[in-house]
Amino acid sequence: AQKVTQAQTEISVVEKEDVTLDCVYETRDTTYYLFWYKQPPSGELVFLIRRNSFDEQNEISGRYSWNFQKSTSSFNFTITASQVVDSAVYFCALSEVTDKLIFGTGTRLQVFP
Amino acid sequence: DTGVSQDPRHKITKRGQNVTFRCDPISEHNRLYWYRQTLGQGPEFLTYFQNEAQLEKSRLLSDRFSAERPKGSFSTLEIQRTEQGDSAMYLCASSTWDRAAPSNTEAFFGQGTRLTVV
């Protein structure tokens, strides 16, 4: 069965703090893809990153970084020096052969000035 | 605007009425997906199309729900005899899929249609 768990329901930080959003996934497939999406108050899901199961290299994009560890089935997302504009709900998602996305329940991040 | 667009953005309907939503995907995308998102939850997959063919339907999609993509471009999602439990955000997404190089490209989402059944 496929499942994505985001155990942190809500996180609050003060601007400039670093914050890590956790994501744990379950799948029986050896080929799969992991995603992170951001959902601001406007409601639109904004794509952040896609990672395939054969590429465990960590990735950094500006203030964002992702840590993929197959050994622990985790794909965590870190925002460095958070900003108020980072406030949103963040979703981790998994897709397998059929490429439909299985989403976690999301983590609401609030960044206070 | 070249993104995924959905219409209407908001819909309030009385229980028992039928509603129809429209999704216009990114023009070169051959895959189109429908998801449903309730408050405090992540989006849940409903169905998807490759061109005009509906390839998969979730068990969440009861007989009251029907989706079409008649010419492989825009899609409609109809809910018949709406119930209060149908109240949710309905999200549409599109992506490209190439048989020669199958890999799950990222799906781009529209802003959704928020349905309220009263």
Q: What pLDDT, in 10s, does the model give residues A15-69? A: 999 999 999 999 998 889 999 999 998 888 999 998 889 888 888 889 999 999 9
Please give the pLDDT value at position B100: 64
Please give the pLDDT value at position B99: 65
pLDDT band at B2 (very low <50, low <70, confident <90, very high): confident
Q: Residue B85 carries which DSSP code?
A: G
Rounded to an integer, what distance in angstroms lies between the CA atom of residue B73 and that of residue B66? Answer: 16
Q: Which amino acid is at B76?
A: T
Q: Which of B95, B104, B110 is facing A44, going by the closest CB pair?
A: B110
Express as a percent the part of chain A with pLDDT over 70: 98
Give the pairing of strands B10-13 and B113-117: parallel
Q: Which of A45, A93, A98 is facing B91, going by the closest CB pair?
A: A45
Rounded to an integer, what distance in angstroms lies between the CA atom of residue A20 and that of residue B60? Answer: 32
- When comparing pLDDT for B28 and B32, which is higher? B32
Task: Tell me if A101 and B35 make a contact (CB, 8 A cut-off).
Answer: yes
Contacts of A40 in chain B (CB under 8 A): none
Q: How far is B86 from chain A (nearest CA, A)?
A: 18
Express as a percent the part of chain B with pLDDT over 90: 78
> What's the whole-number mean pLDDT along residues A74-84?
97
Is A84 strand, coil or helix? helix
Q: Does the N-terminal peptide bond of residue B8 adopt cis geometry, omega within 30 degrees of 0?
A: yes
Residue of B nearest to A39 (CA): B111
Q: Are A16 and A85 in contact (CB under 8 A)?
A: no
Contacts of B105 in chain A (CB under 8 A): 50
Q: Are A37 and A49 in contact (CB under 8 A)?
A: no
User: Both tokens of residue A101?
Assistant: 């996305």
